[in-house]
Structure 1
Amino acid sequence: MNAPTPREHLAPTARPQGIGERVPRKEDQRLLLGRGQFVGDIRMPDMLDVAFVRSPVAHARLGAIHKPAGMETLVYTMADLQGVAPILAAAGLPGFKRSVQHPLASDKVRHVGELVAACIAPTRARAEDIAAQVEVDYDELPVLADMETAGTSDSRVHDAWSDNVFVETRIEKGGDAASKPDTRRYHRHLRTARQCMMPMEGRAVLCWWDHRLDQLVMYTAAQVPHINRTGLAECLGLDEGQVRVISPDVGGGFGYKGLLLPEEVCCAWLARHLDRPVRWIEDRREQLSANANCREHAYDIAIEVESDGRLVSIECDAMVDSGAYSLYPFSACLEASQVASILPGPYTMDRYTCRSRAMATNKPGILPYRGVARTGVCFAIELMMDAAARDLGIEPYELRARSLVPASAMPFVNITGKLFDSGDYAESMTRAVAALDWQRWRARQRESNAAGRTKRIGLGLSVYCEQGAHGTSVYHGWGIPMVPGHEQCAARITPDGVLELRLGVHSHGQGMETSMAQVAHTVLGIGIDKVRVVHGDTAVSPYSTGTWGSRCAVMAGGAVGAACDVLAQRLIGIAAGVLGKPAASLQLIDGVVKEPGQSGGMTLAEIAYTWYRAPQKVPAGVDPGGLEVVTGYKTQPDTGTFSYATHACAVEVDTATGKVTLLDYAICEDGGVLLNPLIVDGQIIGGLAQGIGTALYEEMPFDTEGQPLASTMADYLLPGAGEMPPLKLLHMETPSPHSKYGQKGLGEGGAIAPPAAIINAVNDALHALGAELTQCPASPERVLAALAEANRGNVGEGAQ
């Protein structure tokens, strides 16, 4: 079944503000003029600030906590937080081990920065002075700072566990594992670095108790306000009606703001206990050294290919460093479970075997950062494909073309059971390679390398597919304790003809106020300046699992469209009664209900006025539901949509200094029908910047004692505008048959492919020197180390 194009949903007149138009973002007017409202902008009378005492050691028994004399009532420990339950994020997968995370440490501390005590004062500076005077007795224990060591150690992060594995997943698919005579085997040990997410705004919390409603009110910089409400209610022993979570403007998320924080639980308890507003604003050192990380994977991976380059099999043993605790709500199973199911990427093969483990270590827990496990698995499989291409002496795009799922096979069920909805992966690769002008760069590479220069050119590419907007069956299968269902939209037309859309998802940079208004305009013909998108408040928005997983354009967009469809029929029904005409003879055209080809009719504002202010004109028999509806939407089937792209790049590697410079970059992506191509461009370019950071700069290292070694922005490197390469960005639009308008989730895609493409280009540049990188980021130190290793004759494994 092919999805209808958006134009089939339109009334006969073209919609210049509707789906597919490059409409500038509505929200930028206030945000760029400094009129946004973030948690840090909100002040309340009699407000207290919180500073936390954080553990300076990675693993220790917690002894006595000595409060400074005369300040005992200003310092709170877990023993003071009576009635507060621990945070539990337990997956449903067989064998998953639970971790008990107290909001303030109870028996042990398990990573540097873990909360030990909360100190309150009228200002943050005074609260920090109090925190500095708190003395804590630590009985230090052996530290597990590396996931591979944790797998064989006798020490335990959690005393009751038999090992340090949260959960293990195995998938075995395909036939006889015996190698064929005409195949070659390639084996590598690959790693991705641990990273910090870097939204412009850190986490922030402000809580107070509303006695009139007997309700906790929490302002928090969060992506998943309803999920935060659920978690808070569980920890504090309240019913969910006693908790109201408000997320105002949020300055970026990327997954970092998709969890329930122990700081939130502490502030909520303190606000109720003290009957005063309580606030905590995260500083950058806290964020870097103490709070959630992402993306530390290890792959022991081998592939087999035939002599012409066709992929035959993948064998992989993967680890994900999940840190000390399973974070609420996604749990420690999310990345590792996904690794096993999505590692095959967009390729066909005969056999597939993967074992994946989520390891517990003495580090902060991990969260699903933009791209989640896809960035790691793309890095793993794409580096292996290039290794095979180099050994076989063929171009990497020629090798991939032999194994990409063909367009003629769509819809396609891959070896792990993923249902690819639509697309042409090979065409995307062909266009990206052409946009980069691959052969011209090859000629420049030959010329440069022949001259014996220290600056060598390399070419690389990577292909990926991104499952977005996936739902109940997928997340239940991964064991996620929070399973998404229908996404709902509450839509109503006010008496003056303004459309209000209330959504459970939340925007933290995606331009949702604009794109959702465009969907409404497509259905109702209402100007987007007359559409108000209300979100981020659990008191007024429908329940939702929030913004993550590239789901909003598909799920929330579908819900908005479904709600507006219902409103359109009700508008026509009211107008038909007032005009005395059969409803079947009327259409909604450019915001006017009328007979096609005729003048007159009733505008939306006139219909709304009549319904609310002049109901005597409305005859009996009109739908009594009026101009307010709540309806839900999910894809059918709810296995999600699959966007995809090819990234191709040219780099220059200075073999004297190890510096890598991006020379040129091309992307050809397919996100189905684009709701707003201008916003899509911004999403992809922003994701590319983050992917460049993963490839070349960003790393959160820990020493053997579990101490973070990049606790300031001087140590944790980020790409800036000067590191962005020239970019050619191309779009394909293959509609998804599973979504309402053919759109696909693509919010994370820009960040998935760059590490693989860039490291492949670096390896292409260094291949003639016998050097190869198997880890990112490709820092100057790693490049020089790879060259030194090659000079010693210790090159990586080739064909076997």
Structure 2
Amino acid sequence: MSEKPEPSGTGIGVRVRRKEDRRHLQGRGRFVADLAMPGLLEVAFLRSPVAHARLTGWRKAPGAEARCFFLEDLEGLQPIVARSSLKGYKVSEWPALARDKLRYVGECVAACVAPTRAEAEDLAEACGLDYEELPAVIDPLAARRAGSPLVHESWGDNLFLETFVDGDIDAIARTAAVKVEREYATARQCMHPMEGKGLLAWWDDRADQLVVHTSTQVPHVIRTGLAECLGLEQRRVRIAPPDVGGGFGYKCILQPEELVVAWLAMTYRRPFRWVEDRREHLVAGANAREHHYKVTAYADARGRLLALDAEVTVNVGAYSVYPFTACLEAAQAGGNLPGPYDFRNYRCRTYSVASNKPPFTPYRGVARPGVCFAIELTIDAIARAVGREPAEVRAENLVPGSAMPYDNVTNKHYDSGDYPESLRRAMARIDLPAVRTRQAQGEPDGRLIGVGFSTFTEQSAHGTKVFASWGIPMVPGYEQATVRLTPEGGVEVRAGIHTIGQGLETTLAQVASEILTIPVERIGVVLGDTAETPYSTGAYASRGAVMAGGAVSRSATALAGQIKAIAAHLLQCEPAEVSFEGGRIRGGNASLDFADVGRAWYLNPEQLPDGVDARGLEATEGFKPKVDSGAFTYATHAAVVAVDPETGKVEILDYVVIEDCGTMINPMIVEGQAFGGSAQGIGTALFEESPYDAAGQPLHSTLADYLLPGPSELPSFRIEHMETPSPYTAHGIKGVGEGGAIAPPGAIVNAINDAVKGLGVEMTEIPVSPRRLLGKILAARSGTPSGLEAAE
């Protein structure tokens, strides 16, 4: 833990209990499934049973034809189209219900409505489909080859986009002392928020609006997408999200189910609802992480990285998602693969590949768990090639603190921090010499001990120029917030970003409390509702605390000036003499309660000074970081593992996180984000996988098939904070939401490889399941080329 003393009050830096927890712990949260309206009808979807087929006919449930809808029934509804300005990008049209062709198992084909979900599901089951099955393309490397089945025939291939970073590395390649070549693979995963996707839509005749209560991270963006597909002006669409039970990026996109339910509500002027069940989530919903890397690294004799040559293939599924497109993942992979390392020669080619799998969704970390895994394993491979301690080689390659701010080889602008120091602290906390001693002594039970490290950077709150360079149709600008003093001396904060469990109701209140000194208990926070909040592109890219927090800070500062002008008149002093302390207003030898100022403006305007600011006691301001590249959080994770060479089972014995997210608004929330993210990263490293057979059938339709880490699989995390404020943000705050999920695969698999290196085994694919690891061990013992085949 940080030794820095925590401040008093409820402002920045204080471990304030989360405001939102009371209602959730008491079972009073209101999620989509909790909402009730008269005449509500539930929606269930008939989904494609095959991965690839020509749709030749369909039949509605006998006797219930009016309650079954195929695409031809959805008059005027446009498909989801995510356009990009990037040269060579191919546009896909994702229809709300399948048209002419089925492109993945679980694709929506028909919608059925009934008073209950069970009845609606019965109707969907009674519908029929006629189709001619086609060969499916599942593997992204195969999908790139000529002659592969085509997901979209008009393209002529299966590439959404191919991109290049054309660095000149040939001279170094000819002279480098060390050359390391590796291929890495990361499995396709699902997100698993506690609450799946869902929405309830109805038509408000009084406001002449479609009202949509949807579980989303990006309400204002969803309004734009829905309005375009429904043919409505945006003023006639209101997104009013209730509580959202987690998002992780899955709830950042517009989905066909949302289009269908919204169309039904608009057309029939009554409420309709769909709530995703866990099987829908696993089979058809949230897919992410499936990458393949070919990496060649060149280094000197000490292991100093000189150049990197890479090829990245991302399996993005059948359609491009709105608004982030199918190509954000590969763009992030190519730009972030160099990580926190100091080298100047880089070449990379990326492929965003279509396949007969569900569309790819941004997931916590967006490409960085994969690129961190690839570069961190490469650093350790270099260290083994030169015969040195991997931690020492890593330290010598990291960007030093003295170089900050630093522009890396892909023009990422690292704003502040000390990456080698985070590694040094991790080495000390994990006690590297003691681990090496234990490793040399051996374990009484025959298990093998290993230690691994992983250091990463997380670009948070990056802005307009960065997103525009990726060509996506939604580009963030200024984040806005409104702060208002109420008549009784309380505060209202309104921001268009939405909370998905990351504690924004608390942290935004703390920022306002820092400026105004009013305790957070007297600060109400309203988020997300497009009818009540300023525009925001939403909660993603670890931008909430930086962007919305910055906007709240500016608005609260502007409001403070307005309050001081009125208070100075009431206190008979100059505005410059007025200050806030402990929730009161002081000036000269007297003081006021904030309620005195509130009453003067709202109830007793005769007390106001002449020429009072007509804006009253409310301020709306916008915020962007001073440098558009955002603020870079970073951390080092260290893991000690024990590997059973007879079973392939891995146990995490110790796990250390040294993180730096700049100024912490609430250290307790920071730790919750780090621990939760690390748990997801451990799932990526050891457990989670969405397998498919050759025909494109998912083999993971229940949680008996898809493994998630639970309490018995997770270590007791140890965390230490560094605080290096960003020079570009309000209060020096950096984002922290995604970081915990990025480093664990690299740290854990490096530790596994450290443990089994004496067996001649090296893992390069995740998750490292017991079957996969034991297969490699058996193959090494027998001399066969493939461990997986040996295990089977």
Partners of 1:179 and 1:126 in 2: CA distance? 65
* Corresponding residue for residue 41 of structure 2: 48
Give how far 1:168 is off: 1.2
Which residue of the partner structure matches residue 451 of structure 2? 459
Cross-structure match for 2:226: 232
Where does residue 69 of structure 2 map in the other structure?
Answer: 76
Does 1:58 pair with 2:51? yes
Residue 121 of structure 1, aligned match among 104, 114, 126: 114
Letter in 2 for 1:724: L
Superposition pairs of residues 331-350 of structure 1, within 5 angstroms = 331-350=325-344
Q: 2:645 corresponds to which residue?
A: 655
1:311 aligns with 2:305: yes
Match for residue 547 of structure 2?
A: 555
Structure 1 counterpart of 2:742: 752
* 2:213 is aligned with 1:219: yes
The reply to whether residue 382 of structure 1 matches residue 372 of structure 2 is no
Q: Indicate whether 1:204 and 2:194 are aligned.
A: no
Distance in 2, matches of 1:244 and 1:699, equals 37
Which residue of structure 1 lines up, in the alignment, with residue 679 of structure 2?
689
Question: Within 1, Cα distance between the matches of 2:7 and 2:183?
Answer: 55
CA distance in 1, matches of 2:12, 2:577: 26
> Matched residues in 1 for 2:757 and 2:398: separation?
25
Secondary structure of the residue aligned to 1:533 is strand
Deviation of 1:309 (Å): 1.1
Shift of 1:275: 2.1
Please state if 1:18 is matched with 2:8: no
TM-score, L = length of structure 2:
0.97
Rounded to whole Å, the distance in 2 between the matches of 1:292 and 1:108 is 21
Tell whether the 8 Å contact from 1:516 to 1:557 is kept in structure 2 after alignment. Answer: yes
**Residue in 2 aligned with 1:85?**
78
Partner SS for 2:730: coil
Structure 1 residue 730 corresponds to structure 2 residue 736: no
Deviation at residue 383 of structure 1 after TM alignment:
0.6
- Match for 2:401: what amino acid? A
Tell me if the contact between 2:172 and 2:307 (Cα under 8 Å) persists in the aligned partners: no
Distance 2:452 2:376 in 1: 10
Give yes or no for contact 2:261–2:273 (8 Å, CA) kept in 1.
yes
Q: What residue number does 1:575 align with?
A: 567
Equivalent in the alignment of 2:129:
136
CA distance in 2, matches of 1:180, 1:425: 30
- Structure 1 contact 311–402 (Cα < 8 Å) conserved: no
SS of the residue corresponding to residue 611 of structure 2 reads coil
| 1:705 counterpart residue number | 695
- Code of the aligned partner of 2:255: L
* Residue in 2 that maps onto 1:468: 460
Q: Deviations over 1:536-575 (max 9, x none)?
A: 2111011111000000111011000000000000000111
CA distance in 2, matches of 1:480, 1:308: 42
Deviation at 1:14, TM superposition (A): 6.5
CA contact under 8 A between 1:571 and 1:593: conserved in structure 2? no
Would the alpha carbon gap of residues 14 and 607 (structure 1) be closer, same or farther in structure 2, given more than 3 Å must change? farther
User: For 2:386, which of 376, 392, 404 is the aligned residue?
Assistant: 392
Separation in 2, partners of 1:224, 1:527? 29
Instruction: Give yes or no for contact 2:62–2:126 (8 Å, CA) kept in 1.
Output: no
Alignment partner for residue 613 of structure 1, among 603, 607, 615? 603
In structure 1, C-alpha distance between the alignment counterparts of 2:362 and 2:262, rounded to whole Å: 25
Q: Tell me, in whole angstroms, the C-alpha distance in 1 between the residues paired with 2:15 and 2:664.
A: 10
What amino acid is aligned across from residue 206 of structure 2 in structure 1?
Answer: R
- Is the counterpart of residue 356 in structure 1 residue 350 in structure 2? yes
C-alpha deviations, 1:198-243, integer Å up to 9, x for none? 1010011111111111110111111111111110000000000110
Give the letter for the 1:614 counterpart. N
Residue 448 (structure 1) aligned with residue 442 (structure 2): yes
Deviation at 1:15, TM superposition (A): 4.5
In the TM superposition, residue 794 of structure 1 has moved relative to its aligned partner by: 5.8
Q: Corresponding residue for 2:790?
A: none
Deviations 1:245-287 (A, max 9, x none): 1111111110111111110110011112222210111110011
Alignment of 1:513 onto 2:505: yes
* 1:499 matched to 2:499: no
Aligned counterpart for 1:622 among listed residues 612, 623, 639: 612
Moved more, 154-163 or 143-152: 154-163
Partner of 1:261: 255
Amino acid at match of 1:322: V
Matched residues in 1 for 2:446 and 2:781: separation? Answer: 15
Moved more, 293-302 or 581-590: 581-590
1:185–1:794 distance in 2 versus 1, CA, 3 Å: farther
Offset of 1:601 from its aligned partner?
2.5
What secondary structure does 2:250 align onto?
coil
Distance in 2 between the 1:420 and 1:429 partners? 17
Whole-angstrom distance in 1 between the partners of 2:397 and 2:276: 47
Q: Kindly, what percent of the aligned residue pairs are identical?
A: 52
State the shift of 1:589 in Å.
2.6
Q: Residues of 2 paired with 1:725 and 1:395: CA distance?
A: 25
Write the distance in 2 (CA, Å) between the matches of 1:720 and 1:91.
Answer: 40
SS in structure 1 opposite 2:221? helix
| Counterpart in the other structure of 1:590 | 582
- Which of 751, 766, 777 pairs up with 1:776? 766
The CA distance in 2 between the partners of 1:309 and 1:528, in whole Å, is 51
Question: Whole-Å Cα distance in 1 between the matches of residues 72 and 50 of structure 2?
Answer: 21
* 2:469 is aligned with 1:486: no
* Amino acid in the other structure paired with 1:94: K
Correspondences of 1:641-680 after superposition (within 5 Å) = 641-680=631-670
Aligned-pair Cα RMSD in Å: 1.5
- Report the equivalent of 1:10: none
| Structure-2 separation of matches of 1:408 and 1:179 | 29
Q: Distance in 2 between matches of 1:177 and 1:475?
A: 33
**TM-score, structure 1 length as denominator?**
0.96
Say whether the 8 Å CA contact 1:432–1:647 is kept in structure 2.
yes
**CA distance in structure 1 between the partners assigned to 2:176 and 2:252 by the alignment:** 48
Correspondence for 1:412: 406
Amino acid at match of 1:104: L
- For residues 100-115 of structure 1, the aligned pairs below 5 Å read 100-115=93-108
Decide whether the 8 Å contact of 2:318 with 2:357 is kept in 1: yes
How far is the alpha carbon of 1:494 from its aligned partner?
1.3
SS in 2 for 1:400: helix
Is the CA contact 1:98–1:166 (under 8 Å) kept in the aligned structure 2?
yes
1:362 partner amino acid = N
- State the shift of 1:599 in Å: 3.6
Q: CA deviation at 1:181?
A: 4.1
Residues 770 and 795 of structure 1 are in contact (CA less than 8 Å); yes or no, is this contact kept in structure 2?
no
Equivalent residues, number? 782
CA–CA separation in structure 2 for the residues paired with 1:343 and 1:534: 38
**3-state DSSP class of the match of 1:322?**
strand
Letter aligned with residue 654 of structure 1: D
Deviates more, 1:306-315 or 1:599-608: 599-608
Q: Secondary structure at the match of 2:80?
A: coil
CA distance in 2, matches of 1:261, 1:181: 51
SS in 2 for 1:167: strand
Q: 1:585 Cα shift?
A: 2.3
What letter matches 2:417 in structure 1? G
Matching residue's letter, 2:48: S
Deviation per residue, 1:308-354 (Å, 9 max, x gap): 11001110010011000001111111000111111100001131000
Partner Cα separation in structure 2 for residue 637 and residue 14 of structure 1: 29
C-alpha distance in 2 between matches for 1:716 and 1:232: 32
Structure 1, residues 44-84: CA drift from partner, whole Å, max 9, x if none? 11110111000000011111111122211010000000000
Letter in 1 for 2:61: P
- 1:182 and 1:162 map into 2 onto residues whose CA distance is 40
* 2-structure distance, mates of 1:216, 1:429: 52
Given residue 615 of structure 1, which amino acid in structure 2 is its aligned partner?
A: P
1:659-680 residue CA offsets vs partner (Å, 9 max, x unmatched): 1110111110111110100000
| Counterpart code for 1:400 | R
Structure 2: runs of 5+ lacking an equivalent: 787-792
**Contact persistence 1:175–1:350 (CA under 8 A):** no
From the superposition, tell whether residues 43 and 491 of structure 1 become closer, same or farther in structure 2 (CA, over 3 Å): same
